[in-house]
């Protein structure tokens, strides 16, 4: 079993990463593999609605950023944890781009 955690904070290894890693500690005790993906500094862009991913058999994004690697990790995961600080009653722009 594998769980991937997404740190949507603009600060790599900040409080959000610390909290996700606390959850990971408990999962690791149960023998569950974990992986943390940090969005800070990746330059991830939101969807541009070009629909090219629908035309391709492998459903990858044509935008050349880190997303395609993240998609592969998520497809292999049995569980996903999304973590984000709260900015103006919402998730960060990094997390919004990831969700898009």
Q: Measured between alpha carbons, how far is 49 from 38 in angstroms, rounded to an integer?
A: 24
Choice among 28-32, 34-38, 77-81, 86-90 with the minimum mean pLDDT: 86-90
What confidence category does residue 16 fall into, taking pLDDT thresholds of 50, 70 and 90? Answer: very high
How confident is residue 18, by pLDDT bands cut at 50, 70 and 90? very high
pLDDT for 37: 97
Band of pLDDT at residue 47, cut at 50, 70 and 90: confident
pTM for the full predicted model: 0.88
Give the pLDDT score at 81.
Answer: 98
């Amino acid at each position: 079993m594998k769980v991937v955690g997404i740190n949507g904070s603009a600060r790599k290894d900040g409080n959000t990463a610390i909290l996700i890693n606390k959850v990971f500690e408990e999962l690791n005790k149960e023998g569950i593999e974990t992986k943390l993906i940090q969005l800070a500094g990746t330059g991830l862009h939101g969807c541009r609605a070009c629909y090219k991913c629908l035309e391709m058999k492998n459903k990858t994004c044509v935008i050349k950023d880190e997303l395609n690697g993240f998609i592969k990790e998520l497809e292999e995961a049995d569980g996903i944890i999304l973590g984000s600080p709260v900015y103006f009653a919402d998730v960060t722009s990094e997390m919004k781009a990831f969700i898009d």
